[in-house]
Structure 1
Amino acid sequence: MRTVIVGTMTATYSIDDEPAGGHPLRQGASPAAIHAALPPEDRADFDADYAKALDRAGTTRDLTELFTVLEHWRRLAVLQSEPEIFRRVAERAAELRTDEPATEDPAAEAQADPGR
Protein backbone atom coordinates (compact mmCIF):
# COMPACT_ATOMS: atom_id res chain seq x y z
CA MET A 1 0.00 0.00 0.00
CA ARG A 2 1.28 3.46 -0.86
CA THR A 3 0.19 6.85 0.44
CA VAL A 4 0.28 9.94 -1.73
CA ILE A 5 -0.08 13.45 -0.30
CA VAL A 6 -1.71 15.90 -2.70
CA GLY A 7 -1.92 19.37 -1.16
CA THR A 8 -3.83 18.79 2.07
CA MET A 9 -5.38 15.51 0.92
CA THR A 10 -3.87 12.11 1.58
CA ALA A 11 -4.81 9.28 -0.76
CA THR A 12 -3.98 5.63 -0.42
CA TYR A 13 -3.88 3.21 -3.30
CA SER A 14 -3.32 -0.48 -3.68
CA ILE A 15 -0.43 -2.21 -5.43
CA ASP A 16 0.60 -5.84 -5.69
CA ASP A 17 3.28 -5.83 -2.97
CA GLU A 18 0.66 -6.08 -0.20
CA PRO A 19 0.79 -9.23 1.89
CA ALA A 20 -2.01 -11.66 1.09
CA GLY A 21 -4.91 -12.07 3.46
CA GLY A 22 -5.97 -8.45 4.03
CA HIS A 23 -9.61 -7.49 3.86
CA PRO A 24 -10.58 -6.82 0.22
CA LEU A 25 -12.19 -3.50 1.18
CA ARG A 26 -9.35 -2.14 3.31
CA GLN A 27 -8.19 1.39 2.55
CA GLY A 28 -6.65 1.46 -0.90
CA ALA A 29 -8.84 -1.39 -2.17
CA SER A 30 -8.63 -1.99 -5.89
CA PRO A 31 -11.41 -0.80 -8.19
CA ALA A 32 -12.16 -4.46 -9.01
CA ALA A 33 -12.58 -5.31 -5.30
CA ILE A 34 -14.86 -2.30 -4.77
CA HIS A 35 -16.96 -3.19 -7.83
CA ALA A 36 -17.31 -6.82 -6.72
CA ALA A 37 -18.39 -5.83 -3.19
CA LEU A 38 -21.11 -3.42 -4.29
CA PRO A 39 -24.70 -4.56 -4.64
CA PRO A 40 -25.55 -5.24 -8.32
CA GLU A 41 -27.83 -2.20 -8.49
CA ASP A 42 -24.90 0.14 -7.62
CA ARG A 43 -22.29 -1.29 -9.98
CA ALA A 44 -23.31 0.68 -13.09
CA ASP A 45 -23.12 3.97 -11.14
CA PHE A 46 -19.70 2.98 -9.79
CA ASP A 47 -18.50 2.08 -13.29
CA ALA A 48 -19.69 5.43 -14.66
CA ASP A 49 -18.09 7.47 -11.85
CA TYR A 50 -14.86 5.48 -12.10
CA ALA A 51 -14.65 5.84 -15.89
CA LYS A 52 -15.29 9.58 -15.66
CA ALA A 53 -12.64 10.08 -12.95
CA LEU A 54 -10.17 7.88 -14.81
CA ASP A 55 -10.69 9.87 -18.00
CA ARG A 56 -10.19 13.16 -16.17
CA ALA A 57 -7.04 11.83 -14.51
CA GLY A 58 -5.65 10.95 -17.92
CA THR A 59 -6.40 14.43 -19.19
CA THR A 60 -5.36 16.49 -16.16
CA ARG A 61 -2.53 14.24 -14.89
CA ASP A 62 -4.08 14.68 -11.42
CA LEU A 63 -5.22 11.58 -9.52
CA THR A 64 -7.04 13.41 -6.70
CA GLU A 65 -10.53 13.00 -8.19
CA LEU A 66 -9.88 9.35 -9.01
CA PHE A 67 -8.79 8.60 -5.43
CA THR A 68 -11.78 10.52 -4.07
CA VAL A 69 -14.23 8.55 -6.23
CA LEU A 70 -12.66 5.23 -5.25
CA GLU A 71 -12.74 6.10 -1.55
CA HIS A 72 -16.38 7.23 -1.75
CA TRP A 73 -17.46 3.97 -3.37
CA ARG A 74 -15.22 1.87 -1.09
CA ARG A 75 -16.94 3.35 1.94
CA LEU A 76 -20.37 2.64 0.44
CA ALA A 77 -19.33 -0.95 -0.24
CA VAL A 78 -18.15 -1.34 3.36
CA LEU A 79 -21.40 0.14 4.70
CA GLN A 80 -23.49 -2.13 2.52
CA SER A 81 -21.46 -5.25 3.33
CA GLU A 82 -23.57 -5.64 6.48
CA PRO A 83 -27.15 -5.24 5.14
CA GLU A 84 -28.89 -5.11 8.52
CA ILE A 85 -26.55 -2.45 9.89
CA PHE A 86 -26.86 -0.49 6.65
CA ARG A 87 -30.67 -0.69 6.86
CA ARG A 88 -30.63 0.69 10.42
CA VAL A 89 -28.23 3.51 9.50
CA ALA A 90 -30.34 4.41 6.46
CA GLU A 91 -33.50 4.32 8.55
CA ARG A 92 -32.00 6.66 11.13
CA ALA A 93 -30.71 9.02 8.42
CA ALA A 94 -34.18 9.15 6.86
CA GLU A 95 -35.74 9.93 10.23
CA LEU A 96 -33.24 12.73 10.87
CA ARG A 97 -33.85 14.25 7.43
CA THR A 98 -37.64 14.17 7.63
CA ASP A 99 -38.33 14.35 11.38
CA GLU A 100 -40.73 11.45 10.78
CA PRO A 101 -40.50 7.70 11.26
CA ALA A 102 -38.79 5.95 8.36
CA THR A 103 -40.77 4.42 5.52
CA GLU A 104 -40.49 0.80 4.42
CA ASP A 105 -37.52 1.73 2.18
CA PRO A 106 -35.34 4.00 4.33
CA ALA A 107 -32.34 3.85 1.97
CA ALA A 108 -34.41 5.21 -0.91
CA GLU A 109 -35.89 7.88 1.35
CA ALA A 110 -32.47 9.02 2.58
CA GLN A 111 -31.19 9.32 -1.01
CA ALA A 112 -34.35 10.93 -2.42
CA ASP A 113 -33.57 14.40 -1.13
CA PRO A 114 -29.81 14.63 -0.54
CA GLY A 115 -29.88 18.42 -0.21
CA ARG A 116 -32.22 18.43 2.73
Structure 2
Amino acid sequence: MPVGEAALPAVDPRYRVLVAATYSVDEDQGGDDSPLRPGASPRAIRTALLPADREQFDEAFASALAETRASLDLTGLFRTLEHWRGIAALHADRERFRRVARRAAQLLTGEPSPDDEPLEVTRAKAQL
Protein backbone atom coordinates (compact mmCIF):
# COMPACT_ATOMS: atom_id res chain seq x y z
CA MET A 1 0.00 0.00 0.00
CA PRO A 2 1.44 3.44 -0.94
CA VAL A 3 2.43 5.79 1.85
CA GLY A 4 -0.44 7.96 3.07
CA GLU A 5 -3.23 5.57 2.03
CA ALA A 6 -5.26 3.94 4.72
CA ALA A 7 -6.64 0.48 4.36
CA LEU A 8 -10.36 0.55 3.70
CA PRO A 9 -12.51 -1.90 5.60
CA ALA A 10 -14.15 -4.65 3.60
CA VAL A 11 -17.51 -3.42 2.29
CA ASP A 12 -20.37 -5.52 1.06
CA PRO A 13 -20.47 -4.92 -2.74
CA ARG A 14 -24.23 -4.31 -2.58
CA TYR A 15 -23.46 -1.03 -0.82
CA ARG A 16 -20.89 0.28 -3.27
CA VAL A 17 -22.85 3.02 -4.96
CA LEU A 18 -22.03 6.54 -5.97
CA VAL A 19 -23.64 9.10 -3.74
CA ALA A 20 -25.30 11.80 -5.77
CA ALA A 21 -27.10 13.78 -3.07
CA THR A 22 -24.95 16.57 -1.72
CA TYR A 23 -27.19 18.57 0.56
CA SER A 24 -26.35 19.63 4.04
CA VAL A 25 -27.49 22.09 6.60
CA ASP A 26 -24.86 23.76 8.73
CA GLU A 27 -26.15 25.18 11.98
CA ASP A 28 -23.55 27.97 11.78
CA GLN A 29 -24.21 29.85 8.55
CA GLY A 30 -21.54 32.46 9.19
CA GLY A 31 -23.97 35.14 10.24
CA ASP A 32 -26.24 34.84 7.20
CA ASP A 33 -29.68 35.04 8.75
CA SER A 34 -31.55 34.83 5.44
CA PRO A 35 -34.27 32.19 5.59
CA LEU A 36 -33.55 31.48 1.90
CA ARG A 37 -29.89 30.56 2.21
CA PRO A 38 -28.83 27.20 0.72
CA GLY A 39 -30.46 24.46 2.73
CA ALA A 40 -33.59 26.55 3.35
CA SER A 41 -36.56 24.67 4.70
CA PRO A 42 -39.49 23.90 2.42
CA ARG A 43 -41.62 26.11 4.68
CA ALA A 44 -39.27 29.10 4.25
CA ILE A 45 -39.23 28.56 0.49
CA ARG A 46 -43.02 28.32 0.27
CA THR A 47 -43.52 31.40 2.44
CA ALA A 48 -41.27 33.53 0.21
CA LEU A 49 -43.02 32.51 -3.00
CA LEU A 50 -45.69 34.66 -4.56
CA PRO A 51 -49.11 33.28 -3.58
CA ALA A 52 -49.81 32.36 -7.21
CA ASP A 53 -46.83 29.95 -7.22
CA ARG A 54 -47.43 28.17 -3.93
CA GLU A 55 -49.74 25.52 -5.39
CA GLN A 56 -47.14 24.64 -8.04
CA PHE A 57 -44.51 24.39 -5.32
CA ASP A 58 -46.77 22.14 -3.23
CA GLU A 59 -47.29 19.82 -6.21
CA ALA A 60 -43.60 19.71 -7.11
CA PHE A 61 -42.61 19.12 -3.50
CA ALA A 62 -45.18 16.33 -3.03
CA SER A 63 -44.05 14.68 -6.25
CA ALA A 64 -40.38 14.89 -5.22
CA LEU A 65 -41.20 13.42 -1.81
CA ALA A 66 -43.09 10.53 -3.42
CA GLU A 67 -40.18 9.85 -5.77
CA THR A 68 -37.75 9.98 -2.86
CA ARG A 69 -39.84 7.45 -0.93
CA ALA A 70 -39.93 5.12 -3.92
CA SER A 71 -36.27 5.43 -4.93
CA LEU A 72 -34.68 6.12 -1.54
CA ASP A 73 -32.60 8.73 -3.39
CA LEU A 74 -32.73 12.31 -2.10
CA THR A 75 -31.20 13.90 -5.19
CA GLY A 76 -34.49 14.77 -6.89
CA LEU A 77 -35.89 16.24 -3.69
CA PHE A 78 -32.83 18.42 -3.21
CA ARG A 79 -32.92 19.57 -6.83
CA THR A 80 -36.60 20.45 -6.50
CA LEU A 81 -36.00 22.43 -3.31
CA GLU A 82 -33.02 24.24 -4.80
CA HIS A 83 -34.99 25.13 -7.94
CA TRP A 84 -37.84 26.59 -5.89
CA ARG A 85 -35.42 28.27 -3.45
CA GLY A 86 -34.00 30.20 -6.40
CA ILE A 87 -37.47 31.29 -7.46
CA ALA A 88 -38.35 32.25 -3.89
CA ALA A 89 -35.17 34.32 -3.64
CA LEU A 90 -36.26 36.22 -6.76
CA HIS A 91 -39.73 36.72 -5.31
CA ALA A 92 -38.43 37.86 -1.91
CA ASP A 93 -37.89 41.40 -3.19
CA ARG A 94 -41.30 41.95 -4.80
CA GLU A 95 -40.48 45.30 -6.39
CA ARG A 96 -37.27 44.02 -7.91
CA PHE A 97 -39.10 40.98 -9.24
CA ARG A 98 -41.76 43.26 -10.74
CA ARG A 99 -39.03 45.27 -12.52
CA VAL A 100 -37.40 42.08 -13.83
CA ALA A 101 -40.76 40.79 -15.07
CA ARG A 102 -41.55 44.11 -16.77
CA ARG A 103 -38.16 44.15 -18.48
CA ALA A 104 -38.49 40.52 -19.63
CA ALA A 105 -42.00 41.18 -20.94
CA GLN A 106 -40.78 44.21 -22.85
CA LEU A 107 -37.90 42.24 -24.38
CA LEU A 108 -40.22 39.42 -25.44
CA THR A 109 -43.11 41.52 -26.73
CA GLY A 110 -41.30 44.63 -27.89
CA GLU A 111 -43.84 46.71 -25.94
CA PRO A 112 -43.46 48.29 -22.48
CA SER A 113 -45.91 47.09 -19.83
CA PRO A 114 -48.16 49.76 -18.31
CA ASP A 115 -47.20 50.80 -14.78
CA ASP A 116 -50.56 49.69 -13.41
CA GLU A 117 -50.57 46.28 -15.14
CA PRO A 118 -51.17 43.41 -12.69
CA LEU A 119 -48.02 41.41 -12.01
CA GLU A 120 -49.66 38.16 -13.14
CA VAL A 121 -50.35 39.69 -16.58
CA THR A 122 -46.77 40.93 -16.83
CA ARG A 123 -45.46 37.52 -15.73
CA ALA A 124 -47.53 35.80 -18.40
CA LYS A 125 -46.09 38.08 -21.06
CA ALA A 126 -42.60 37.48 -19.69
CA GLN A 127 -43.18 33.73 -19.47
CA LEU A 128 -42.11 33.77 -15.83
Residues of 2 paired with 1:27 and 1:97: CA distance? 31
SS in 2 for 1:35: helix
**Map of 1:19 onto structure 2:** 28
Q: Please, which moves more after superposition, 66-75 or 32-41?
A: 32-41
Q: Structure 2 length as normaliser, TM-score?
A: 0.68
Question: For the pair shown, which has the larger CA radius of gyration, 1 or 2?
Answer: 2
- Output the amino acid matched with 2:58: D
Segments of structure 1 that go 5 or more residues without pairing to the other structure are none
* Alignment length (residue pairs): 103
Deviation at 1:25, TM superposition (A): 0.4
Segments of structure 2 that go 5 or more residues without pairing to the other structure are 1-18
Deviation at 1:71, TM superposition (A): 0.9
Q: Is the 8 A contact 1:34 1:73 kept in 2?
A: yes
Deviation at 1:76, TM superposition (A): 1.1
**Map of 2:123 onto structure 1:** 107
Deviation at 1:11, TM superposition (A): 4.2
- Output the amino acid matched with 1:84: E
Residues of 2 paired with 1:52 and 1:43: CA distance? 14
**Map of 1:53 onto structure 2:** 64
SS in 1 for 2:52: helix
Higher strand proportion (structure 1 or 2) = 1
- Output the amino acid matched with 1:109: K
Q: Structure 1 length as normaliser, TM-score?
A: 0.74
Indicate yes or no: 2:98 matched with 1:82: no
**Map of 2:50 onto structure 1:** 39
- Percent identity over the alignment is 50
